[in-house]
Amino acid sequence: MNGPHRPLTIDLTSDSRNLFREIWAYRFALWNLILKDFRIRYRNMSLGMIWSILNPLVMLGVLVVVFSYIRLTSRPDAHFAVFLLLGMIPFNFFSMTLPPSTMCILDNAALVKKVIFPRHILPVSVVLAQIIHVVIQFVLLAVFLAVSRVSPNLAWVWIPVLLVVELGVVLGFAFILSALNVYYRDTLYLVQSGLTILFWFTPIFYPLSVVKTSLKPWIYRVYLLNPLAGIIDSFRRVVLEGKAPEGLPLGISTGVAVLLLLLGWAIFSRKERHFADKI
């Protein structure tokens, strides 16, 4: 018997303090989980970490070739490779993180059943492990920026803000999906299918401005509920145009990130007490 259902309440201040206190207390376990995830990903691959560069590089080559021969009026002529990378890297972080974070509780079933520790660090460790790959891909971006002669500008101070917003989005989804997957084992398949669909509804190889001019205002706002849209557009404005992010897209992305974090924390905290019984 699971007992009577308790109302879903959020004490953000105390919960946040407890989360940071628990993460710091178990920092050694968190660090080992991060390293474990990183090693497992490349354990049976002869090229190892090189795949973090090859995967986006191969996709970049395919998209550059295709859209060089298929002329689109929406395609930017200047710095097209950089334009694509600025769309691919945020999406790659999102798509690389969601499947393993969905499975992280089940993949660590023995720990969850036998060891008492804050389960929150499992999805956190998966998300933080993927940051290693993001750093590698940003190095690749830096090379293309140098080759394309795109100079740094004052607007680049926005880059850490944009990274924090995306980190909030990813963490929120990680908490929600990892908890739901314990109860509903089809969650991973829904995530994989959803990522395929999301790819085409994210402005990776076309600018957000085309969506804005092509859709009715209310449909455009619905489109912006995809938080990656505002994040990617903001990266491009900051890096390529030297402008601050546009208020509406980034504002909606930030709001979605905060909502996902609050909802994710609440759902995970409510469900985790029964993880050992459900696995």
What average pLDDT is seen over the chain?
83
Spatial neighbors of 150 by CB under 8 A, at least 6 apart, are 79, 82, 239, 240
Closest CA to 133 of 239, 45, 48: 48
pLDDT digits (tens, 9 = 90+) for 123-176: 999 999 888 889 989 999 999 999 888 888 999 999 999 999 999 999 999 999
pLDDT digits (tens, 9 = 90+) for 235-270: 999 999 999 999 999 999 999 999 999 999 999 988
Rounded to 5 degrees, what angle do the CA atoms 267, 271, 273 make?
140
Q: Which of 2-16, 40-54, 66-80, 229-243 has the highest mean pLDDT?
A: 229-243
Domain ranges of the chain: 40-278
> Rounded CA gap, 150 and 10, in Å?
45
Structure confidence at residue 118 as a pLDDT band (50, 70, 90): confident
Spatial neighbors of 113 by CB under 8 A, at least 6 apart, are 276, 279
